[in-house]
Amino acid sequence: MYPFISCPNHPKVQVRAYFNIIKKDGSSPFEKESKCLYLESNEGCKDKYVDIEDLLDEENGYLDNGALTVEYGVQVESVEDVNGIWRFNFFDLFFNWQNQDNMFDFIIRQENSYFGHKQIIKLHSKKISDSNKDWVRVPKSVTVEELVMCLQITHGVRLQITVKELKKTIEIASRFGFSNTVRYCEQQLIKMDEQTKLKLTRNVKLAVKFKLERYLNHSIKKIKAPERLMSILKKLNVEKMSSATMKTLLSKYLELIDFLE
């Protein structure tokens, strides 16, 4: 007999696994922990073979009133999708989470939680790090799919997502203080804007709202007349603009006036 754990629904998975057979006196001669295993879809997480007859022999001390005590645990840390991209698993509690201070909770509707790596979360967010909390509550307007997408990018996964998804990720990342995630999405928006012409007014509004200075500079390059710039400015909340944004827009306005003269 030996323990066998497999995940047939994914091309490859990264798992942590634990298996133990406890003797009647509390000792653990078969305790085994595998910290990082990369498995093919048809490959199991195996441990050393144990003869069932040895376990059922009362003289060997495994049976307690005719019963065996077996401890086991498995955590799927990440999975590979069909495109070859590895994604983290944020849906399950961390391995041995009760004894390790390495998990950060994102609490969503109905008290459901999703779990990120605390060191990564606090490294990327000064806002969360300064709060000294190990959890945050996710706004009701954010779906599970949107939260997970943001967490994947924050943990370093480079997803190929749509303009709409990038904008939503920027909104979520800004709320949690994930500045690197915001910058990554900003870079992707600039690349995608060069390929598919997006609506200028919406782009400027987004850049101003989330202080995307590079995206703002990229967007206003398309403005060729001061009247066009002024029509966009009338749709913005000037009072809430950062000083850097105001300087950028003023500089663009003066540039357009000089060009006309």
Q: What is the pTM of this model?
A: 0.83
Q: Final residue of a domain: which of 86, 116, 132? A: 86
Question: How do residues 206-221 score in pLDDT, each as one tens digit?
Answer: 999 999 999 999 999 9
Write down the pLDDT at residue 2: 56
Residue 173 lies in a domain: yes
Structure-model confidence comparison of residues 71 and 36, the more confident one: 71
Q: How many domains does the chain have?
A: 2
194, 171: one domain:
yes
Residue 197 CB partners (closer than 8 Å, separation 6+)? none
Residue 108 lies in a domain: yes
Residue 124 lies in a domain: yes
Residue where the block lists tokens 């060997």: 60
Residue 40 has a CB neighbour count (10 Å cut-off) of 14
Of all helices (H) and strands (E), which one includes residue 175?
Answer: helix 163-176
Q: Final residue of a domain: which of 36, 57, 86? A: 86
38, 101: one domain:
no
Residue 219 lies in a domain: no
* CATH number of the domain within which 48 lies: 2.60.210.10
Question: How do residues 8-61 score in pLDDT, each as one tens digit?
Answer: 666 688 888 888 889 989 888 877 777 666 766 566 666 667 788 888 888 889
* 135 phi and psi angles, rounded to 5 deg: -160, 160
Long-range contacts of 193-200 (CB under 8 A, 24+ apart): 193/218, 193/219, 196/163, 198/163, 200/232
Q: Pairing relation of β-strands 45-46 and 69-80? A: unpaired
Query: Rounded mean pLDDT of the chain?
Result: 87
Range of the domain at 56: 4-86
* 11 phi and psi angles, rounded to 5 deg: -55, -45
Instruction: Find the mean pLDDT for residues 67-95.
Output: 86
Question: How do residues 219-236 score in pLDDT, each as one tens digit?
Answer: 999 899 999 999 999 999
